[in-house]
């Protein structure tokens, strides 16, 4: 009995000690916070400060765009969580929540080793009559060194934030007749829908080196405004995607747009009346956009075309193409053999990407992506079939795997059957590596004779063409709704 009482007392003592430790620990945190606030207040008394007000409206009661940018920037600061009061606001997207500074609260920032503070001042009790102002507080001795670069820093950061939050849209052009009679509440010749394609460059099953080069090329473009202007060039970049139907050119365009957070302007040349009409469409395209012309080879080979080759050339890099910046132009073709070399010359086309049919390496990537298979007893049989020159497009193989995804063995047998029963075709699809060169057209013929593709994209269902079919915006074209394998040949800026 005595032993039990002693053990119980020891247990109570241990619990009491643990309680004291936690209490001291949390109190020390509170004391540290109070000491930090006390230090800041003392430091303030020994410096002379300059204050800059950023009101929500200007003297003409017009919205102050700088206030919007500063508000976005302040809400992105991690230190906003240290304020006593903050507001949680839902964003445009369902899962987006932003933190905004409450009235008369202060948030601190550091720029170029200088401490800066922002205070949210609100005057007026009525919500409609409330006047909000963000007040910048900075030491006078630092203002000449800090203010201008700090404001430029705010612009840069908020531009990146707004780009990430942007809802991407897919635009297509209507005919003039359709525009006059069916306006549908949108302006001009362009009609748009939200672009919800699920693919992106991070989910693309791609050789890591090639993926890095694709991303590097796009990221370099995003940061090259001053470089392009220094060269006297328009800040734009152009891609040629060529390969057989079903090799995934449209999926790549979708991934590119998602990576850049750019709207897509998909031009239907059948709705363009002449060269002048094509120029007018170009003038109405916004900056930060991906401009797409699909199956250009087929359109140019049609004798009834109303657009001339010179009109296409002018669209790509003529004077009118200078009326806008930060654009990516993407041309797709099934084959470039009969295309006027003037269209393909460096300067008009900066990057060429070939999308070949499938080989065994591409097949293994697809099997891993669609079926979770890194190896299988049927792989040697599949490899032998590919070595005999039979192949399918990555889209066709991907569809077979999707249908049979519940049984990987059945999926592989179905692929083998499809290859052997005549659906597989002898292919010249070859492998290429990325190369930088002054003349694309000469090298490209050499590249087309090399081995199998290096890059695979497993997106197989939702493509730009599907959106056109679902929404009735464009006539359905003949190909391209599945997975991709491709290689890059690119020419970097001089």
Among residues 456, 464, 411, 402, the alpha carbon closest in space to that of 429 is found at 456
State if pTM tops 0.75: no
The last residue of one of the domains, among 420, 437, 460, is: 420
Report the 10 Å Cβ neighbour count for 413.
Answer: 16
Could you tell me which residue, 154 or 461, shows the higher pLDDT?
A: 154
| Pair 239, 331 in one domain | yes
149: pLDDT confidence band, cut at 50, 70 and 90? very high
Over residues 61-69, the mean pLDDT reads 86
What letter would DSSP give residue 184?
Answer: T
359-387, pLDDT tens digit by residue?
787 788 788 878 888 888 989 988 888 88
Do residues 369 and 349 share a domain? no
Query: What confidence score (pLDDT) does residue 423 get?
Result: 55
Judge whether residue 430 has pLDDT over 80. no
Collapsed DSSP state (helix, strand, coil) of residue 175: coil
The mean pLDDT of 83-107, rounded to a whole number, is: 77
Which residue, 404, 420, 436, sits at the end of a domain?
420
**How many structural domains does the chain have?**
3
Choosing from 132, 165, 198, the residue where a domain stops is 165
Give the range of the structural domain holding residue 57, as residue numbers without chain letter.
49-165
Q: Is the dihedral of CA 293, 294, 296, 299 positive or negative?
A: negative
Residue 373 and residue 315 in one domain: no
Arithmetic mean of pLDDT, 196-213 = 70
**In this structure, are 351 and 365 located in the same domain?**
no
Give the list of residues 6+ apart from residue 246 with CB closer than 8 angstroms, or none.
393, 394, 395, 396, 479, 480, 481, 482
Average pLDDT over residues 254-260: 89
Q: Is residue 473 domain-resident?
A: no
Tokens representing residue 447 in the block = 């590249």
Confidence check: pLDDT of 484 > 70: no
Residue 24 counted as domain residue: no
Mean predicted confidence (pLDDT) in 132-146: 89
pLDDT at position 94 is: 61
- If asked whether residues 203 and 282 sit together in one domain, one would say yes
Residue 243 near residue 486 (C-beta atoms within 8 A): yes
Mean pLDDT of 332-355: 86
Question: Are 238 and 136 members of one domain?
Answer: no
Given pLDDT bands bounded at 50, 70 and 90, which one contains residue 470? Answer: very low
What is the predicted pLDDT for the residue at 23?
62
Q: CATH number for the domain including 343?
A: 3.40.50.300
pLDDT of residue 124: 63
Residues 197 and 319 in one domain: yes
* 56 and 110 co-located in one domain: yes
Q: Domain for residue 433, yes or no?
A: no
Confidence band of 136 (pLDDT split at 50, 70, 90): very high
Instruction: Looking at the structure, tell me whether residues 333 and 192 fall in a common domain.
Output: yes
Residue 386 falls inside a structural domain: yes
Asked whether residue 320 is domain-assigned, the answer is yes
Residues 6+ apart with CB under 8 A from 173: 189, 190, 191, 265, 267, 268, 271, 272, 281
Q: Check residue 234 and report its DSSP letter.
A: -
Residue 480 lies in a domain: no
268 and 391, same domain (yes or no): no
347 within 8 A of 382, measured Cβ to Cβ: no
Q: Are residues 302 and 285 part of one domain?
A: yes
Mean of the pLDDT values across residues 268-288? 89
Judge whether 136 lies within some domain: yes
Q: Round the average pLDDT of the chain to a whole number and report it.
A: 75
pLDDT at 121 > cutoff 50: yes
State which H helix or E strand residue 106 sits in: strand 106-111
Answer yes or no: do 215 and 82 share one domain. Answer: no
Please check the confidence at residue 487 and state whether its pLDDT lies above 90.
no
């Amino acid at each position: 009995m005595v032993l039990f009482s002693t053990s119980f007392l020891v247990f109570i003592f241990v619990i009491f000690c643990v309680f004291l430790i936690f209490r001291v620990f949390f109190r020390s945190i509170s004391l540290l916070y109070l000491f930090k606030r006390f230090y800041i207040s003392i430091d303030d008394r020994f410096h002379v400060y300059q204050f800059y007000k950023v009101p929500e409206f200007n003297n003409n009661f017009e919205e102050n765009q700088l206030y919007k940018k500063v508000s976005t920037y302040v809400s992105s600061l991690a230190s906003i969580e240290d304020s006593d009061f903050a507001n949680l606001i839902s964003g445009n997207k369902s899962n987006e929540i932003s933190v905004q500074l409450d009235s008369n609260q202060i948030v601190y920032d550091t720029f170029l080793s200088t401490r800066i503070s922002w205070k949210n001042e609100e005057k007026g009790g009525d919500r409609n009559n409330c006047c909000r102002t963000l007040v910048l507080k900075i030491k006078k001795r630092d203002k000449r060194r800090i203010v201008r670069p700090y404001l430029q820093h705010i612009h840069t950061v908020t531009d990146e934030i707004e780009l990430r939050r942007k809802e991407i849209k897919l635009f297509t052009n209507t005919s003039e007749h359709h525009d006059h009679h069916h306006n549908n509440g949108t302006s001009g010749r362009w009609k748009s829908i939200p672009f919800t394609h699920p693919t992106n460059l991070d989910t693309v099953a791609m050789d890591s080196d090639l993926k890095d080069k694709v991303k590097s090329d796009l990221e370099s473009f995003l940061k090259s405004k001053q470089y392009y202007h220094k060269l006297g060039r328009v800040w734009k970049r152009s891609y040629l995607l060529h390969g057989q139907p079903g090799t995934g050119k449209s999926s790549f365009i979708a991934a590119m747009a998602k990576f850049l957070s750019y709207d897509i302007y998909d031009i239907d040349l059948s709705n363009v009346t002449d060269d002048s009409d094509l120029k007018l469409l170009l003038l109405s395209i916004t900056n930060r956009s991906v401009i797409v012309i699909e199956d250009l080879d087929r359109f140019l080979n049609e004798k009834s075309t109303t657009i001339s080759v010179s009109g296409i050339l002018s669209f790509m890099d003529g004077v009118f193409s200078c009326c806008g910046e930060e654009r990516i132009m993407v041309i797709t073709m099934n084959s470039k053999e009969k295309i006027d070399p003037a269209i393909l010359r460096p300067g008009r086309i900066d990057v060429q990407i070939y999308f070949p049919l499938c080989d065994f390496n591409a097949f293994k990537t697809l099997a891993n992506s669609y079926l979770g298979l890194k190896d299988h007893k049927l792989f040697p049989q599949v490899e032998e079939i590919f070595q005999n020159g039979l192949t399918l497009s990555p889209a066709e193989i991907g569809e077979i795997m999707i249908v049979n995804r519940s049984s990987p063995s059945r999926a592989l047998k179905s692929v083998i059957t499809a290859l052997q029963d005549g659906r597989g075709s002898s292919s010249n699809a070859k492998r290429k590596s990325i190369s930088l060169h002054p003349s694309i057209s000469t090298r490209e013929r050499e590249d087309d004779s090399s081995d199998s593709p290096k890059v695979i994209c497993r997106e197989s269902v939702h493509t730009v063409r599907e959106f056109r079919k679902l929404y009735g915006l464009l006539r359905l074209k003949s190909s391209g709704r599945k997975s991709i394998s491709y290689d890059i040949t690119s020419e970097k800026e001089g």
